[in-house]
Each structure stands twice: as C-alpha cells, then as structure tokens.
Amino acid sequence: MDATHDVQGLLSVIIPTHDQARNVERLVHAVKQVTPGAEMIVVCAGLQPHADDVSVSCVWGAKVIAAENNASSSECRAIGAKHATGSVLLFLDERNGLSRACYKKWMAKVQQGYDVVMCADDFGQAKTRPGSVRYAFSFLNQLLGHRQFGSASLEKAPFILNRKALETIGFRALHIPAVALVKAVKKGLAISCEPIERSARKQLPPSQALAKPKSVLFEEHARAIYMLLQDKNERGAMPDGERHRILAQETGLLHLRSVFYQESDDKEADGWGAKRKERTKRIRKRAQRRKRRPH
C-alpha cells in the first residue's frame, strides 16, 4: 500500500492568506488534487469574522477562518494549527504549492518516524550572497547543533508537523517559528530537511500582506537564542580550555599566564616566558648584526 494513503484521511493542510488574495481558490483546488480527502484550512487575515459569504467555503471546499488584519503568515499558521484535527499537519504558502512527487516523498519521511519535516535550503551554495534573514536562520541552526539544516526554518513553508510535534511545542509557539524550532530540538523531536523543486518555490510574487519586517524576524531569533542559552552557561556550553578565570578576581595577581595556565614566575625558564625571551634575544642579535655591517 502507498504510504501516502495511510495518512491521507488524517491530513490537515493549512494555508495562510489575506482578504485581497486572488490565487487561493486555484491553490486549494490544486492541493486537493494532490491530497484528496485532506482537511483544508484557509486562515484569512483581514476577513471579517462575521462575514456571511457562504460561497467562499463552498467554492474553495475548505474551512475558512478569519484572522486579524495585521496577522503574519506564522500567526495564521498557529491559528490554523489550533483548529486542525488531522494527525499530520502540512503548512503551505499562498504563493506556491507542492507537487505530487514531493508530497509523497515528504509523507514518506513522516511514515519513517520524523516529527518535523522542513524545506531544505542550499545555503552557501547559491551564486548570489545570502541575505541577512537567511544568515539569521543559519546561525540559529548552528547554535542548535544542526549545521546540516543550512538556513531551513519553520518561518518558511512548506513544512510538516505531526500531532506529537504540535502537542510537544504547542500551537502558540508557531507564532514565533524560531522559538518553535528551538523547542522542537530541545524536546528531542526527529527533524528532517527535504528539498523542494525550485519551480514550485516562486510561482507567484511573494505576498507582502503577511510578511514580517526584518526587525521583527531578528527580534524573534534573538528571543529564541536567549531561550536556548538558558540551559547553558555564559559560554554556551563551549569548553573554557585551561583558563582559571577565578584568578582574574584577585587584586594584584592578574597576569596573562596566570589566567590561562596558572603558572608562577619560577616556571618561566621552560615555559611560555622562555619562548618569549628567546624570541626577544634573536631579534636583538639580528639588530646588532645589521649595525655591524659596513655601509
């Protein structure tokens, strides 16, 4: 039996959009062709909560949920996750979909036991220099100890969460994807990064209505990094070498060799001080030879 059929009836597809979007209906129909029988949830920012527009849900064949006018894509995803009933949640972007082949590959990862599947990114391999936002994604992944993730992030769709991952990190954490990723790693969830066809990434221009300012993205990553460091020391759990920093607090005893090696002056003859003296002696001899040369 195809692995996709095992979870087909238990899949929730969540698509954030805004009230002026024109391509959502087409995207919903395209996704339903790939994932027939899945629960379709469209979270629309700016839609009036009490709007009596029955044609929307009938034409789209999806559950439409209203969100605040200034809601971001990640906030809409969190709202959709709260209302989802599937055991697997697939988050898409309003400007691109997912091919059948890519969908089967991603769902196979879920069947293999992965709790989170993110979109892999060829960070550092592109011809153009990565932007500051991608550097922020990559930096967080390195701090998490997953350099192989590149600049993959829960900020970017598509990605998949199973019910276990959603209950572990909580749907509210999806408001800040960087925090959600930190929680997923700290809780030991199985995470995989899978590529997606370039043709499916930018079918339409990016929507600015749901986009976050860079300053907000950086602030969210700073919050995630702070949370990550709460369980580590001031050096981020990195080794401190042979340093004895307690000596730096002793008045009158602060010495470079003392802080690093805790050596006393009587060991200079065969230690770091001896090498320094030998180097000074060589420099002095070369200077004397230059003076003796006839001009």
Read off the pLDDT of residues 118-144 as tens digits, 9 standing for 90 and up: 988 765 555 556 688 889 999 999 999
Number of H helices, E strands in the chain: 11, 7
What is the reported pLDDT for 288?
85
168-205 pLDDT, tens digit each? 999 999 999 999 999 999 999 999 998 876 544 444 44
For residues 138 and 99, give the distance between their C-alpha atoms in angstroms, rounded to a whole number.
Answer: 26
Contact 254, 248 (CB under 8 A): yes
45-69 pLDDT, tens digit each? 887 655 444 444 545 778 888 888 8
Residue, of 219 and 265, whose pLDDT is higher: 219
pTM: predicted TM-score of the whole model, two decimal places:
0.71
